[in-house]
Structure 1
Amino acid sequence: MTAVDSHASVTGQTPGGASLRDVVAAYVGLTKPRVIELLLLTTVPVMFFAHRGVPSLGLVVATVIGGALSAGGASALNCVYDRDIDEQMRRTRRRALPRHIVSPKAALVFGVALIAISTLVLGFFVNWLSAGLSVGAGAFYLFVYTMLLKRRTTQNIVWGGLAGCFPALIGWTAVTNELAWAPVVLFLVVFFWTPPHTWALAMRYREDYAAVDVPMLPVVRSGVDVAKQIVAYSWVMVAVSLLLWPVADTGLVYPIAAVVLGATFLVEAHLMWLRARKSDELTDIRPMRLFHWSNLYLSLLFVAVALDPLLTR
């Protein structure tokens, strides 16, 4: 053992100067845990809905592990590709690669390994249809959104956001091993939810995106124009969410929740639009208010998806 290695083993420091705890935290950070939480939140409730009750614990665990590894791997690869702009943005400059705690090569191997393990877990312990959908979602996120759309068009998050819609399909196929119209409706709910959610966050960090030439809509359009788009997508999102009632023949729990949550979301979206009409200052528009509400909206809507078959038997 060299003197450096000996020192590292005693102090818990890596040769690069970061502690072992920092390195572990950096690898976890590469997977974007908050994104994983959100994706799993749209996977597990759909499994309950597809089963019309409580699915087997083993199936849920395998789907959660496989889905988390897949999303984490795709996020790690996204971090590798975007490391140049991540270094310049306030929101992302504390990530592992900009801080040089993890090398790009190590992050690349880490991401590919997670996706490979995820595919095997889903394929052998869930089914190969779910595994294929998971691989497709990760590939779409990396190649279509990250590499093709993100730095080229204001529609980046609209079409790139399709990758985040796949968990609704995966949750359904994990239970049924086939597709149906019900998960397609939920897929579309997430699709129309993504632009308002992401544009609100991008509005808060529009100077960051402008500095690295990423043409997020709030960078190239005024606050009132962005808010108007958010209102339009919000109306479509709420309308699509109500389609699950007739398409899947749900009980009353889901449509009541969808109406209440949707109405509240629309109120918040319209209030943001009214604030944007008066001022283009972020402190006046308060986009993060809608961003946080959008997280709560999607969480509670999918909780209602899970509870509906349990409470209306």
Structure 2
Amino acid sequence: MDHVQPALPYVRPYGRLRRYVLVAKPWIVVANLISAFGGFGLAARGHLESGLLLAVLAGVALVVASACVVNNVIDREIDRKMARTWNRALAIGAMSGRAAMVYAGVLGAAGLAVLWVGTNALATGLTVLGFAVYVGAYSLALKRISPLSTLVGSLAGATPPLAAYCAVSQRFDLGALLVLALFCSWQMPHSYAIAISRYDDYRAAGIPVLPVACDIATTKRHIAGHILVFMVEAQLLTVCGYAGMRFFALATALSLVWFGLARFGAGDDRRQARAVYVFSILVIVAVSLMLAVDAAPIPA
């Protein structure tokens, strides 16, 4: 009952629009758009088609927002047990589950329509697959029972750049596989760092993320290992002729700094994890933008 007062802003006259925006997790939507832009630019190789790019970004944004709304519905009970999520609209009852699902349905249908009309069947199908993995395999099936949920969630998180790549290439090739691997590998240390820094929340909610299910020391080793894998996968994009040397140099330098923070960073475990998390955001923004800027030209 001590949570009643913080809930008041959600029921003020201007609160309805705000809670409909927030329940779609706009910060996650923006992050996915940045990575999608990177995948699109890599496949376009300097020949950006504005209409196709707009369709990809709009469709991805709507479908990701829909998935986030559904996730909020599924997680509303555990959200009440976590310090960072207890005051979400669904957790405090400021929005009904039915209203949220209708909203999610409208967003998802609109996003898929945009992708179907404006891109191709492969990009649309990959986006549907990502939605299904995030909502079904991650949120419903694994999140509450297994630390493997992080790996499954990373597959869903890599879908936007993969779908964007395939919207341009119109095929699933080696470049698509490397994009999928790269963005999956980025998500693992990013998610593990969150799990360490929010350890008490996850333990209170009974979510078996790796630090809770195993221990923090093991999780830190996993973080460092995944960063090295990320670096190699980024380098392979250049080695295999998809990205240029500027991308190679930037991705390598950022990965080494990121690895240093994870392996040798100062402070207690949670402070170190927060540093790894914050730097991971810089890494994905810089790498995504450089993918678009320094994609290798199409061979003659």
Q: Normalising by the residue count of structure 1, what TM-score does the alignment of the two structures yield?
A: 0.88
Query: Is the contact made by 2:247 and 2:291 (CA closer than 8 Å) also made in structure 1?
Result: yes
CA distances 1:174-208 after superposition (whole Å, capped 9, x unpaired): 21222211121121111111121011111111111
- Structure 1 residue 98 displacement after superposition: 1.2
Q: Confirm whether residue 198 of structure 1 aligns to residue 191 of structure 2.
A: yes
C-alpha distance in structure 1 between counterparts of 2:13 and 2:70, whole Å: 22
1:220-231 alignment to 2 at 5 Å?
220-231=213-224
Change (3 A) 1:23 1:213: same
Q: Cα distance, 1:88 vs. partner?
A: 1.4
Deviation larger for 177-186 or 82-91 = 177-186
Could you tell me whether the CA contact under 8 Å between 1:115 and 1:135 is conserved in 2? no
In structure 1, the partner of 2:98 is 105
Q: CA deviation at 1:286?
A: 2.6
The equivalent position to 1:138 in structure 2, one of 131, 142, 157, is 131
Compute the displacement of 1:249 (Å).
4.3
Q: Report how far residue 97 of structure 1 moved.
A: 0.4
Structure 1 pair 218–111 and aligned structure 2 pair: CA distance change class (3 A): same
Q: How far apart are 1:241 and its partner, in Å?
A: 1.4
Paired residue type of 1:82: D
1:91 partner SS: coil
Residue 148 of structure 1 deviates from its aligned partner by 0.8
Structure 1's consecutive aligned runs of 4 or more residues displaced over 4 angstroms after TM superposition are 310-313
Q: Of residues 225, 241, 246 in structure 2, which corresponds to 1:253?
A: 246
Give 1:305 deviation, angstroms: 0.6
Partners in 2 of 1:72 and 1:310 — Cα distance? 32
Task: Return the offset for 1:82.
Answer: 0.7
- Residue deviations 1:256-310 (CA, integer Å, cap 9, x gap): 11211111111111124x76xxx66x3xx53111000011111111111111138
Q: Distance in 2 between matches of 1:65 and 1:211?
A: 37
Which secondary structure does the structure 2 equivalent of 1:43 belong to? Answer: helix
Taking the aligned partners of 2:72 and 2:233, their CA distance within structure 1 comes to: 32
Cα offset, 1:311, TM superposition = 9.5
Bigger radius of gyration: 1
| 1:87–1:93 Cα contact (<8 Å) kept | yes
Partner of 1:293: 279
* Structure 2 residue 12 is the aligned partner of structure 1 residue 19: yes
Mapped pair 1:94 → 2:87? yes
Q: State the aligned residue count.
A: 291
Aligned-pair Cα RMSD in Å: 2.0
2:118 counterpart letter in structure 1: F
Task: Give the Cα separation in 1 of the matches to 2:280 and 2:197.
Answer: 15
Contact 1:253 1:307 in 2 (8 A): no
Q: Secondary structure at the match of 2:95?
A: coil
Q: Does residue 165 of structure 1 match 2:158?
A: yes
What SS is found at the alignment partner of 1:42?
helix
Deviates more, 1:172-181 or 1:73-82: 172-181
Normalising by structure 2, report the TM-score. Answer: 0.91
- 1:48 paired to 2:41: yes
Q: Distance in 1 between matches of 2:129 and 2:34?
A: 19
The change in CA–CA distance for 1:181 and 1:240 in structure 2 (over 3 A counts) is: same
1:309 aligned counterpart, secondary structure: coil
- My pick for the range that moved more, 229-238 or 219-228, is 219-228
Alpha carbons of structure 1 residues 134 and 17: separation in structure 2 relative to 1, 3 Å: closer
Instruction: Quote the residue 2:180 is aligned against.
Output: 187
3-state SS of 2:90 partner: coil
Partner Cα distance (2:10, 2:156) in 1: 37
Counterpart secondary structure, 2:11 = coil
2:117 corresponds to 1:124: yes
Letter in 1 for 2:204: A
Check the 8 A contact 1:78/1:142 in 2, yes or no.
yes
